[in-house]
Amino acid sequence: MPKDQGGAISLLVAISLGLLASLASFYSARSVLMDRLASHNQSQAAQARLAAEAALAWARAELQRQYATHPTPPVWGAGPTRSPCPAAYNGPRWQCATLQPPAHPSLPDAQAQVLAVRDLISSPHVVQLLASAKLNEGTSQARVQAQIFIPAVAPAPPQPITAAVVLQGCASAAKGATQVATPHMAASVCPSSSTSNSSTACTASAWVSVLGDITPEQISAWSEAQASHGLHALSQPARSVYWVDSSTTWSQSLGTPEAPVLLVFSGQACAQRCPSLAPGVRVVGTVVLQTQCQDDKARAWHAGHIQGQLVVESGLPELQSGSRIEARELTASPHRLPWPPGIDARQVQRVPGSWREGGT
């Protein structure tokens, strides 16, 4: 082989080896860079998830703080916390509020927020917390969610009185009245002359026997929340809770056997005399008169047509002719909510098994 050809071949071999070495170095550096990027992304994703979990824990603590100081905390009131609900929670039955947690000292580059969602018809005592977080730099973000019980409504009695009429005294019909009520009553039927006002402190035993530990403040707040979100007798679904402060005669029929209502005439409505149900009005569900153990506030009351139950915090003297009160077995009552055994209804606590990543 000529000397010049041997040198050319050696040069080509040297160049090829150099190119191979360069390619190997390039791919090695690229692999290291990709590993670093993957590690960085993984670290950012972990930080975002930690920030979301911290926001969720903060929201739970914040709701506990608010309920510890106020029976109707501001988180559910009108104001900056009130938010439109996501598409998955469409309709007037859903109430949404935004909670803005403070910056976490260990995660200063993360922005987090929590959306609180609850169903005002079937579960006002259960809140879905949807926490999200993202880092100021980069695209890493995370979502976590969990359900919690809140003391918005206390549990109803496990074995309530189911009589058509529940009184703290006795009942009588107006003079000349014919059949005014079903005989299934958790009270005595007395002559008109024997009914009298209570001279002792009012214990609201009729309320407790049907509504248990649920407070008037809780019912009032629940009713206001439903009304402010556009729920009414003809909405879909229909409003289920009515707290009435007006002394005007009630003239609207409410409820169905499949969707009964809770209608409460408050102490304010009954300040002079409880408003009657107008003739022809039909209420399916539970009607409560807050007479505060004073028979005169229910004197000459007209029941319209009640299918379900009437609860009166006193006697019921001179019930007007034409009143119909029928005990009826209903598929559900709006105030009878699911409370699992072992839950402390006075505390905010997580629903077991509800935590998960991602979601709406």
pLDDT at residue 7, rounded to an integer:
63
pLDDT category at 290 given cuts 50, 70, 90 is: very high
- Per-residue pLDDT, averaged over 286-296, amounts to 95
Question: Residue 178 above 50 pLDDT?
Answer: no
pLDDT category at 269 given cuts 50, 70, 90 is: very high
Domain boundaries, the chain: 1-153+337-360, 165-327
pLDDT digits (tens, 9 = 90+) for 180-196: 445 455 655 565 444 44
pLDDT category at 104 given cuts 50, 70, 90 is: confident
**CA nearest to 204, candidates 312, 316, 333:** 312
Strand spans (E) along the chain: 94-99, 110-119, 123-135, 141-149, 165-173, 185-189, 241-244, 261-265, 282-289, 305-312, 316-319, 324-327, 349-350, 356-357
The answer to whether 244 touches 219, Cβ cutoff 8 Å, is no
Sequence letter at residue 107: L
Any idea which residue has 């509800």 for tokens? Answer: 354
Q: 176 to each of 180, 239, 296, 297, 326, how far by Cα in Å? A: 11, 37, 19, 21, 21
Higher pLDDT pick, 94 / 12: 94
Higher pLDDT pick, 279 / 14: 279
- Per-residue pLDDT, averaged over 346-360, amounts to 83
- Letter string b/e over residues 255-280, b meaning 16 or more CB atoms within 10 A of that residue's CB: beeebbbbbbbbbebbeebbbbbeee
- Per-residue pLDDT, averaged over 81-88, amounts to 87
Higher pLDDT pick, 169 / 58: 58
pLDDT digits (tens, 9 = 90+) for 243-258: 999 999 999 999 999 9
pLDDT category at 199 given cuts 50, 70, 90 is: very low
- Per-residue pLDDT, averaged over 275-293, amounts to 96
Question: Residue 47 above 70 pLDDT?
Answer: yes
pLDDT category at 303 given cuts 50, 70, 90 is: very high
Question: C-alpha angle 35/38/41, rounded to 5°?
Answer: 150
Mean pLDDT estimate for the chain: 84
pLDDT digits (tens, 9 = 90+) for 11-37: 676 676 667 666 666 666 666 555 555
Question: Residue 110 above 50 pLDDT?
Answer: yes
pLDDT category at 4 given cuts 50, 70, 90 is: low
pLDDT at residue 192, rounded to an integer:
45
The answer to whether 319 touches 343, Cβ cutoff 8 Å, is no
Which value, in Å, is the radius of gyration of the alpha carbons in the chain? 33
Q: Which of 98-112, 194-208, 262-276 has the lowest mean pLDDT?
A: 194-208
Taken as a whole, the chain contains a residue count of 360
Percent of the chain residues past pLDDT 90, beyond the cut: 53
For residues 71 and 66, give the distance between their C-alpha atoms in angstroms, rounded to a whole number: 8
